[in-house]
Amino acid sequence: AQSVAQPEDQVNVAEGNPLTVKCTYSVSGNPYLFWYVQYPNRGLQFLLKYITGDNLVKGSYGFEAEFNKSQTSFHLKKPSALVSDSALYFCAVRDKYSSASKIIFGSGTRLSIRP
Amino acid sequence: DAGVIQSPRHEVTEMGQEVTLRCKPISGHNSLFWYRQTMMRGLELLIYFNNNVPIDDSGMPEDRFSAKMPNASFSTLKIQPSEPRDSAVYFCASSLTRRPYEQYFGPGTRLTVT
């Protein structure tokens, strides 16, 4: 089965420091991987995707993610955190066994940036 | 662009009552998804449509749940009869067929069943 795991429920970072939100995946075949963000009382927003090409993918709001095939990871990163980055972050993978368009979300990681 | 529109934003109802949640996808998007989010179970896909046709309803919890998409600009999720364990935030999302994984979520409907 296709799945993603987010090993940390919560990540705390000081403003201005680099941040990393971890994600590992388990898929058969080539993975299609995504990151979404959810701000309080809002729906999820698409941040970035990896389908093919460069292992370092750039997305919205200065975020990037690094695809690492050997470690089956797709960690989300940002060089300098902002307080406004505080939100719930979801890693996701395409469900290749569905007919189309279905993605499977991880459990989410709450990112808290302290001033 | 108004984004995905959901109504109502909040719904409080008593056990046994019928609940109807509504969604208007982004104009031109031809895929529509219904999700449920709870603390215990996280984010679950209930059903999705492509060009108004239900493609996968394997996530629908039981027969009390039904969803329709009569046209490209409107979808409903109905729960009849509702139960306290249905309390959750229900999200609708839409996407373009050519970019199926970039889903645009609505603000959600917070359902409380007492």
> Which of B24, B32, B41, B101 is the best substitution to test chain A (most A C-beta atoms within 10 A)?
B101
Mean pLDDT of B17-45: 94
Q: Which residue type is seen at A106? A: G
Chain A residues whose beta carbon lies within 8 Å of the beta carbon of residue B47:
none
Residue of A nearest to B30 (CA): A101
Q: Is A46 left (phi over 0), alpha (psi -120 to 50) or beta?
A: beta
Q: Does residue A34 contact residue B101 with C-beta atoms inside 8 Å?
A: yes
Confidence at residue B62, expressed as pLDDT on a 0 to 100 scale: 85
Tell me phi and psi for residue A40, to 5 degrees.
-55, 135
A71 CB neighbour count, 10 Å cutoff: 10
pLDDT in tens, chain A (115 residues): 788 999 999 999 999 999 999 999 998 888 899 999 999 989 999 999 998 889 999 999 999 999 999 999 999 999 999 999 999 999 999 877 665 678 889 999 999 999 9
Residue B42 contacts A where some CB pair is shorter than 8 Å: yes
Query: Which residues on neighbouring strands pair with residue A11, listed in sequence order?
Result: A111
Residue of A nearest to B104 (CA): A45
> Which of A39, A101, A102, A109 is the best substitution to test chain B (most B C-beta atoms within 10 A)?
A101
Confidence at residue B101, expressed as pLDDT on a 0 to 100 scale: 84
Task: With H, G, I as helix, E, B as strand and everything else as coil, classify residue B86.
Answer: helix
A70 CB neighbour count, 10 Å cutoff: 5
Q: Which residue type is seen at A2? A: Q
Chain A residues whose beta carbon lies within 8 Å of the beta carbon of residue B40:
none
Residue of B nearest to A39 (CA): B107
